[in-house]
C-alpha cells in the first residue's frame, strides 16, 4: 500500500470517526488504526498532509494532536483524489445537518429526554414481567423434577416389591 492510498484511508477513517471541530486525535492514536507494518508510512503521510497548503488535515493544540479542517474539505479531498466518494460518507453529511438543526433548542432536547425516559420505563416494566415469568418457569421445572423423582422412587419400590 503506497503513501497516497494510506492518506485516503486516513482521511476516510477520520471522517467516519468525526475527528473535526472540538474532536481531535493524537497522532499516535491515528497511527494505531493501521497495521503495525504500515505505521511508519502513516506517520510520514500525516506529516506530508500537514505540510500541504490545501490539506484537509490540521495540527491542533500542539504538535501531537490532529483533526480535519472540516468535513466538506475532507470529502472534497477524497473526491479530488479518488474521483468519487462512497455513499456512506455522503450520507453522513445529511445526518450531520439534520442533527445540528434538531439539537438547537433546549425544548427539543427536553422533549427527547422525556420520550427516552418513557421508553426506559416501558423497557423496565417489560424486564420485570420477563423476570417474573422466568421465576415462574423455574419453579415449575423444579416441581416437575421433584415429582418425577418421587414417581421414579415409587415405581422402583413397587417393581422391587414384586420381584
User: What is the chain's pLDDT, residue by residue, as a tens digit (163 residues)?
Assistant: 677 888 888 888 888 888 888 888 888 888 998 998 988 999 999 899 889 888 888 888 776 888 898 888 888 888 887 766 665 565 554 444 444 444 446 677 788 888 888 888 888 888 888 888 999 999 999 999 999 999 988 888 877 777 6
For the full predicted model, state whether its pTM sits above 0.85: no
Query: Is the distance from CB of 30 to CB of 12 less than 8 angstroms?
Result: no
Instruction: For residue 32, give the C-alpha cell.
Output: 494505531
> Can you read off the three cell numbers belonging to residue 28?
499516535
Torsion of CA 95, 98, 99, 100, to 10 degrees: 130
Q: Where are the chain's structural domains?
A: 3-102, 111-163
- 59 touches 50 (CB < 8 A): yes
Q: How many CA atoms lie within 13 A of 71 on its CB side?
A: 17
Amino acid at each position: 500500500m503506497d503513501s497516497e492510498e494510506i492518506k485516503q484511508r486516513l482521511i476516510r477513517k477520520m471522517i467516519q470517526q468525526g475527528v473535526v471541530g472540538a474532536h481531535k486525535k493524537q497522532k499516535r492514536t491515528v497511527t494505531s488504526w493501521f497495521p503495525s507494518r504500515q505505521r511508519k508510512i502513516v506517520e510520514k503521510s500525516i506529516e506530508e498532509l500537514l505540510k500541504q497548503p490545501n490539506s484537509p488535515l490540521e495540527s491542533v493544540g500542539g504538535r501531537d494532536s490532529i483533526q480535519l479542517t472540516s468535513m466538506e474539505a475532507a470529502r472534497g479531498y477524497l473526491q479530488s483524489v479518488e474521483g468519487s466518494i462512497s455513499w456512506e460518507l455522503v450520507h453522513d453529511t445529511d445526518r450531520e445537518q439534520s442533527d445540528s438543526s434538531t439539537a438547537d433548542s433546549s425544548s427539543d432536547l427536553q422533549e427527547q429526554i422525556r420520550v427516552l425516559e418513557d421508553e426506559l420505563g416501558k423497557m423496565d416494566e417489560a424486564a420485570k414481567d420477563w423476570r417474573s415469568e422466568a421465576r415462574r418457569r423455574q419453579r415449575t421445572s423444579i416441581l416437575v423434577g421433584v415429582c418425577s423423582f418421587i414417581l421414579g422412587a415409587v415405581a422402583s419400590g413397587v417393581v422391587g416389591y414384586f420381584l
